[in-house]
């Protein structure tokens, strides 16, 4: 299925920061509906396929792989953790902040730290939702009758 103009723009904008709400706003969806439209777009197979294809194309074009990024982070960490003499002649790590940031990035890659709550959206047919609502209403009526 071909994407319409706004969906194609959403894909291009999503690639900038991987933020569906921000991409929806930049693609022209209203501020009020940006979150909802972002979520809806990310559930459309044509859009997710286009995003995956664009990300793969970009990765091939710039020759950046996860292995290269992780190798670079390790090299930066090793350099930052080198010991050198400070102005008083004491041995000290060259750059604590860079070493810590490299360690943080490696830990995040291994999913050792959770910045957000992971959420999955369950697709439930309307009939099943209606059945669940009817069951809750029935139970609520039974509770009230017992009072």
Mean pLDDT across the chain, nearest whole number? 89
Please compute the mean of the pLDDT values over residues 35-42 and round it to a whole number: 94
Domain span at residue 21 reads 1-63
User: Does some domain include residue 93?
Assistant: no
CATH number at residue 30: 1.10.10.1400
Q: Tell me, yes or no, whether 54 lies in a domain.
A: yes
47 falls within a domain: yes
- Go through the chain and tell me how many residues it has: 147
Q: Is 14 exposed, middle or buried (0-12, 13-18, 19+ CB in 10 A)?
A: buried
Question: Would 119 be classed as within a structural domain?
Answer: no
Give per-residue pLDDT as tens, 62-113. 888 889 999 999 999 999 999 999 889 899 999 999 999 999 999 988 888 8
Q: Can you give the pLDDT at residue 10?
A: 95
Residue 6 is assigned to a structural domain of this protein? yes
Tell me the percentage of the chain whose pLDDT exceeds 90: 61
Q: How far apart are CA 87 and CA 82, in angstroms?
A: 16
Task: List, in sequence order, every residue forming a beta bridge with 93; answer none if it has no partner.
Answer: 83
pLDDT for res 115: 65
In-domain check, residue 32: yes
pLDDT in tens, 11-31: 999 999 999 999 999 999 999
pTM over 0.75: no
Q: How far apart are CA 119 and CA 103, in angstroms?
A: 26
> Concatenated DSSP letters for the chain?
----HHHHHHHHHHHHHS-HHHHHHHTT--TTTHHHHHHHHHT-HHHHHHHHHHHHHHHHHHT--HHHHHHHHHHHHHHHT-EEE-TTS-EEES-HHHHHHHHHHHHHHTT-S-SS---------HHHHHHHHHHHHHHHHHHHHH-
- Total number of domains in the chain: 1
- The answer to whether position 96 is within a domain reads no
Q: Is residue 85 one of the residues assigned to a domain?
A: no
Share above pLDDT 70 across residues of the chain, in percent, rounded to a whole number? 93
Tell me what pLDDT residue 146 has: 54
């Amino acid at each position: 299925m071909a994407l319409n103009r706004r969906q194609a723009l959403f894909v291009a904008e999503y690639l900038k920061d991987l933020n569906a709400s921000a991409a929806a706003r930049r693609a022209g969806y209203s501020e009020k509906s940006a979150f909802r439209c972002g979520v809806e777009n990310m559930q459309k197979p044509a859009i997710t396929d286009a995003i995956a294809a664009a990300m793969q194309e970009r990765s091939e074009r710039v020759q950046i792989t996860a292995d290269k990024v992780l190798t670079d982070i390790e090299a930066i960490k090793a350099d930052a953790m080198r010991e050198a003499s400070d102005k008083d002649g004491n041995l000290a790590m060259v750059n604590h902040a860079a070493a810590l940031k490299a360690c943080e990035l490696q830990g995040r890659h291994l999913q050792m730290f959770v910045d957000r709550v992971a959420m999955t959206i369950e697709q439930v047919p309307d009939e099943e939702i209606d059945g669940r609502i009817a069951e809750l209403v029935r139970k609520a009526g039974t509770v009230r009758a017992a009072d």
